[in-house]
Structure 1
Amino acid sequence: MNTITEEETKQHWKRNIILFLSSQTISLFGSSLVQYAIFWYITLSMNSGVMMTVYIICGFIPTFILSPIAGVWADRYNRKLLIMLSDGMIAIATLILAIVFLMGYDEAWLLFVIASIRALGTGVQTPAVGAILPQIVPKDKLTQVNGTNGSIQAVIMFVSPIVSAALLSVTTIEKIFFIDVVTAAIGILTLVLFFHIPLHKKASEKQTTSYFSDLKEGLSYIRQNDFLKIFFLFFAIFFVLMAPAAFLTPLQVTRTFGDEIWKLTAIEIAFSVGMMAGGGIIAAWGGFQNKIHTMTFASLVMGACTFALGIVPNFWIYLVFMAVTGIAMPIFNTPTNVLLQERVDENYLGRIFGVFGMISTSMMPIGMLIFGPLADIVPIEWLLSGTGLLMLILTILFGRNKVLLEQGAGTLAPK
């Protein structure tokens, strides 16, 4: 029986967060290596846009569908256990795939199946991770921890494709699959042996309601909360407008600046290095006293950079704006997560992060349904400049909203 109290957990928060982030970093690195290895494998062996589209859909749809349900699980059950189970499920599926590939059965549909299973694991893990951090970390340290976590993820985003490509050049993809199995096992064992926290209140009580009732209750919580309604509406629109900058810049570079591989690599490196720097900046700085001001500042920078990407004539200047966009990203994302962790009732955190995960994973692909076809009709530069201007207008409205400003300053209690 776990006798550790919440007060004791908060007293030892540094040890706990180091253990937790270490386990997540090890596991995420292995998963990211495999994700890129599969991506490169499909690209090189199939050379098919249709197959790449199918792979992307398989990696997106399961997370979108499962996120709100997984949010209910994160509120009803042990969040640490959910994180471990999702890591374990992905590792077992990857192990089976590696064995099947070693036996010579390397059909493409298996890669799509594993992409779907990995997406399901992500759908379970994301709301659980978002909801568990306030159980470990004192409220006044959440910004620092979320910023540090953002920097770690940026480093993994930067290193993983390079390492994955290097490994594929010297070994087979099935051997790379085993790396994910090992890193997942290390991450899980770290949580089992060293990471101990008490159950949150709702999970420690007997569940008297159904999954559907809990999901409905979570959606009702959002409907009755003016802050969350406005917050989520802003993000839904903002993510749609971000789609051209997120997905069409490689195509723009190819059409405008040339199709050399190093240029495509350079924009990814510039963005990743920017994200690493931005994570370090927000962790050290902490942002403005009002978190909405921090988000407004960062989103204004992203909107201005998106506009600039559509008008700059020089590739090196283009890279500078790409790096600045990367810097702004964690400065924007960190107070977002902290606001939800601080302002949402702990018993609803999983469901709220589930809905937020559904919005964040769906809106940019939905945006691509609009901007993708347009990119073959009008110059991508027009799309970037246009969406950049709309992002600036949306951000000004966001930054002037009284409900958001009151919650960002912490002047209102969570509803």
Structure 2
Amino acid sequence: QLFSLLGSSIVQYGIIWWITDSTGSAIYLSLAAFFSFLPMVIISPIAGVYIDRWNRKLTILVMDSLQATVTFFLILAFFFNISEVWIVISLNAIRGICQAFHFPAVHAIIPLMVPKKHLSRINGANYLLTGIINSIGPAIGAYLYKFSIEFVLSVDIITFFIALVPLIMIKIPDISPKKEEFSFKKDFKLGVKVLKSVPALLILLILISAINLLSVPFNTLMPLFIKSIHNGNEDNLALVLGLINMGMVIGSAFSIKKRYWKHKVKTILLGIIISAGGYFIATISPTGFFFMVGIGGLIRAAMIPVINTNFLTIIQTNVSSETQGRVMSIVIAIASAVSPIGMILSGPLAELIGIIPLFLICATLDMVCVVIVWFFTGIRKVKYEKQEED
């Protein structure tokens, strides 16, 4: 799966930089991000119900195969010079559909193979390896882009076949339910019921949804921020993205070292505050100081594994394996639902008030959200440590 992820990371870099370089438009970048991410919000809750009934290994295999097929059509579009922006955005959106099934299936498998007491460390290891892959992905993409976009896209096909062999060979526990009358509505309601039963989880979901919304401009407009504000090129963008993902590696390594977190809620809130500080550093960097932009992004990204490891462990230790797919899909959908809105608004807002003011406003609101949640909800009284120890 890490080889598959490497291919996806390289391809995503190539597509985003091609749109940035070809159009120079914040609106096109927003549209590309919007249509790529929209399936995660719309399809994930539906996918989760079926993932709990399907063979999860087969689901991953099929989705990886479909994604590689879509990449092959992208290569053909560029090869035959029919690479209109709308074609590239449409095919990238189909890749997003595959990821909407793939992501919850992978995360639903983890609790089946890992004892509860090791979940925090395994989630941390997952983010560590993901961070490493995403650190080298942009660098490889920038190098291959100098030859052609087709070279960039072809890596996804190669890494798919590399990932295919171990996926076929490895045995994954199957807990598909016994044959019974299937009701999507009933199963979906069960997932929502289980979700509500976890203390204060909805408050955390609302908070993370708000933070996700405020993160969208930074993630979506970074290529244009480098090109238009800092007069950079694909190598400069690769450097910044590499440093950002190195932050993921550092945060993940720290998460692995911790056996378990004693104060998960406090850790999540503190992580958001530190992340906002990185947002500020990257935004106020002087023109051409790409390393400073990257360091700000590194600080911001280092908090993501810490926040997500604690959040995922709360879910995985409080929800049964039989309903993991449903609950995880609903959680992903709720936490991600605001992102498409942010993506579609990022471009027009950037052109209206400027990229730098937009970034500064979002970083400030990050901190405001933490203050509101801590002082105006009962989240301070919730403790999840007992469940993990049990």
TM-score range, shorter chain: 0.7 to 0.9
Instruction: Please list every run of 5 or more consecutive structure 2 residues that lacks an aligned counterpart in the other structure.
Output: none
Structure 1 partner of 2:35: 58
Q: Is the 8 A contact 1:78 1:199 kept in 2?
A: yes
Does 2:143 correspond to 1:158? no
Structure 2 partner of 1:352: 327
Structure 2 partner of 1:260: 232
Structure 1 partner of 2:264: 291
Q: Is the 8 A contact 1:292 1:405 kept in 2?
A: no
Structure 1 partner of 2:145: 168
Structure 2 partner of 1:338: 313
**1:252 and 1:110 mapped to 2: Cα distance?**
24
**2:91 and 2:223 mapped to 1: Cα distance?**
26
Structure 1 partner of 2:63: 86
Aligned length: 385
Partner SS, residue 343 of structure 1 = coil
TM-superposed CA distance for 1:187, in Å, is 1.8
**1:101 and 1:138 mapped to 2: Cα distance?**
46
Structure 2 partner of 1:190: 166
TM-superposed CA distance for 1:36, in Å, is 2.5
**2:247 and 2:355 mapped to 1: Cα distance?**
23
Please point out which of 329, 332, 335 is paired with 2:304. 329
Residue identity in the other structure for 1:112: I
Structure 1 partner of 2:273: 300
Residue identity in the other structure for 1:186: I
Structure 2 partner of 1:12: none
Spell out the pairing of 1:26-41 with structure 2 (5 A cutoff): 26-41=3-18
For residues 303-324 of structure 1, what are the alpha-carbon distances to aligned partners after superposition, in whole Å with 9 as ceiling and x for unaligned?
3333455566694655543322
**C-alpha distance 313-49 of structure 1, shift in aligned 2 (>3 A):** closer
Please point out which of 94, 105, 127 is paired with 1:128. 105
Spell out the pairing of 1:369-388 with structure 2 (5 A cutoff): 372-378=347-353, 380-388=355-363
Q: Is the 8 A contact 1:289 1:409 kept in 2?
A: yes
The percent identity for this pair of structures is: 27
**1:33 and 1:288 mapped to 2: Cα distance?**
33
Please point out which of 156, 159, 172 is paired with 1:180. 156
Structure 2 partner of 1:148: 125
Partner SS, residue 153 of structure 1 = helix
The answer to which of 51-60 and 27-36 deviates more is 51-60
**C-alpha distance 66-334 of structure 1, shift in aligned 2 (>3 A):** same
Q: Is the 8 A contact 1:275 1:326 kept in 2?
A: yes
Partner SS, residue 204 of structure 1 = coil
TM-superposed CA distance for 1:252, in Å, is 5.5
TM-superposed CA distance for 1:150, in Å, is 0.9
Q: What RMSD, in angstroms, separates the aligned Cα atoms of the two structures?
A: 3.2
Instruction: Please list every run of 5 or more consecutive structure 1 residues that lacks an aligned counterpart in the other structure.
Output: 1-23
**1:412 and 1:31 mapped to 2: Cα distance?**
33
**1:152 and 1:38 mapped to 2: Cα distance?**
23
TM-superposed CA distance for 1:76, in Å, is 1.8
**C-alpha distance 33-323 of structure 1, shift in aligned 2 (>3 A):** closer
Partner SS, residue 170 of structure 1 = coil
Please point out which of 56, 69, 73 is paired with 2:46. 69
For residues 31-64 of structure 1, what are the alpha-carbon distances to aligned partners after superposition, in whole Å with 9 as ceiling and x for unaligned?
2222333334444456666654443333122222
Partner SS, residue 351 of structure 1 = helix
Partner SS, residue 324 of structure 1 = helix
Structure 2 partner of 1:10: none
**2:27 and 2:371 mapped to 1: Cα distance?**
39
**2:12 and 2:225 mapped to 1: Cα distance?**
25
The answer to which of 29-38 and 403-412 deviates more is 403-412
**1:146 and 1:122 mapped to 2: Cα distance?**
19
Q: Is the 8 A contact 2:136 2:242 kept in 1?
A: no
Structure 1 partner of 2:207: 234
Does 2:95 correspond to 1:118? yes
Q: Is the 8 A contact 2:214 2:362 kept in 1?
A: yes
Larger of the two Rg values belongs to structure: 1
Structure 2 partner of 1:4: none
TM-superposed CA distance for 1:407, in Å, is 4.2
Q: Is the 8 A contact 1:287 1:294 kept in 2?
A: no
Structure 2 partner of 1:139: 116
**1:270 and 1:84 mapped to 2: Cα distance?**
31
Residue identity in the other structure for 2:10: L
